[in-house]
Structure 1
Amino acid sequence: MKNRLLKWGTFLAIAVIGVISLARVSMPPNKSDVKQVAPKKALVKKSQPTYRSYRDPATLRKPYDWRRSSEVRAYPKIKRIENDLTIRVSLKGNRVYILRNNERIYTMLASGGLFKKGKSLTPLGTFKIQGGRGDAFYNPNLNEGANNWTSWDEQNVYLFHSVPTKNNGKYNLTQARKLGKEPASHGCIRLSVADSLWLKDNIPTGTKVIIKNE
């Protein structure tokens, strides 16, 4: 009889322990025992418009056309001697802005220098339009040329010019289609054919040129 009672007692003890263990497993964890993990911040990749100093005007030509003026309206009238002009370049935004008294008067599609290791091949800083201008050039080292060039560098190394031409003088269509969409040059600032011609013929020597990433 004692053995039977001992067996039943042992059985009941095991059952009670099992019920208690199951209850602990079912209970929600204490907040103090749970390690709080901060949610990871989503990486935000900036878009081209984010890098631009100004919103594109309603008059910007759509679709883009590397042969024609960037805007569908007439170019602004520029005096032969005008000291209140500034050319503002946004390398990551792929835009060139013509400013008068720090107010935008025209927007141009552009492609500046390619970015290598996070740095553009186009130098940043403040420059001036130089006296060097021309109808066309060809660089045999790059096997590339362009039309309607205007220098903003004393050595005539860095220029505003049209989308690039091949060694036969014809426009490089693959490169031309990048205008206004992505950096693509070896350091110069590419413009549409019409914009580069207008800039060469109208922007006075000495005009300030400000080049920034944004």
Structure 2
Amino acid sequence: MLLAMILVLALLVNPALASSKPHSKHMRRPISWVKSSETVPYPELKGKPNLWVKVSLKGNRTYVYSGKKLLYTMYSSAGVYKKDPVTHKMKSVTPTGTFHASNIRKDRVYNPNLKLGANYCISWNGDYMFHSIVTTKDPHHYIKSLANKQGKAPSSPGCVCLSIADAKWFEHDLPTGTKVVVADN
């Protein structure tokens, strides 16, 4: 009983510790970078109490919670890992910490320096966004070598890549101000 109370208290203090187990019976298999990650309809997010998002960098998953209740799990791929020049440890180029979904939403972005683009974007930390699988300059030409890493391995220069359907849902339905916790686990 005491252990259960400590766990509940830990979750209230640090929501990043909340369960990150996917709704395995609803997860789409094989992984599709076009379709929704789950085979059930998307939940309505507006008005959900204590709505927040957890990104698991190593787990290649993005979870949507209402408090401690897991609402939806998405296959995702975030920033690649590079050796940190100070610690000499491998570290994702995606920043970790607590952020908030902004009102910056774009149907399309393109970075001419990287020669990469994406569709259905919502910012959570300046230039860091949730968005679709990466594209070339042509918004309809998805880079299949990166798409095939979806939900399996890091693949982006820093943003969190979602399937096309998941990114479109997030861009249109994730309320501005929603807490986003990015964890290197």
TM-score normalised by L of structure 2: 0.83
1:144 lines up with 2:111 in the alignment: no
1:168 corresponds to: 138
Post-superposition offset of 1:150 = 0.2
Q: What's the RMSD between the two structures over aligned residues?
A: 1.3
- For residue 75 of structure 1, what is the amino acid of its counterpart? Y
- 2:57/2:184 contact within 8 Å kept: yes
Select which of 138, 159, 179 maps to 1:188. 159
Distance in 1 separating the partners of 2:20 and 2:65: 12
Select which of 96, 99, 102 maps to 2:65. 99
Off by >4 Å, runs of 4+ in structure 1: none
Superposition pairs of residues 37-186 of structure 1, within 5 angstroms: 53-79=20-46, 81-117=47-83, 118-153=90-125, 155=126, 157-169=127-139, 170-186=141-157
Distance in 2 separating the partners of 1:179 and 1:142: 20
- 2:133/2:147 contact within 8 Å kept: yes
Post-superposition offset of 1:173 = 1.0
- Helix, strand or coil: the match of 1:184? coil
2:172 corresponds to: 201
Q: Greater Rg, structure 1 or structure 2?
A: 1
- 1:132/1:151 contact within 8 Å kept: yes
Q: Which has the higher strand share?
A: 2
- 1:82/1:204 contact within 8 Å kept: no
- 1:113/1:189 contact within 8 Å kept: yes
- 2:81/2:92 contact within 8 Å kept: yes
Residue by residue, what CA displacement relative to the aligned partner does 1:50-82 show, whole Å, maximum 9, x if unpaired?
xx8314521100111100000000001122x54
User: Which ranges in structure 2 are unaligned for 5 or more consecutive residues?
Assistant: 1-18, 84-89
User: How many aligned positions are there?
Assistant: 160
Residue by residue, what CA displacement relative to the aligned partner does 1:68-104 show, whole Å, maximum 9, x if unpaired?
000000001122x545101000000000000011211
Residue by residue, what CA displacement relative to the aligned partner does 1:109-153 show, whole Å, maximum 9, x if unpaired?
000110102110000000000110010111001000000000001
Residue by residue, what CA displacement relative to the aligned partner does 1:140-175 show, whole Å, maximum 9, x if unpaired?
01000000000001x3x1000000011222111111
- Helix, strand or coil: the match of 2:54? strand
- 1:128/1:152 contact within 8 Å kept: yes
TM-score normalised by L of structure 1: 0.72
- For residue 93 of structure 2, what is the amino acid of its counterpart? L
Distance in 2 separating the partners of 1:113 and 1:123: 9
Task: Give % identity.
Answer: 44
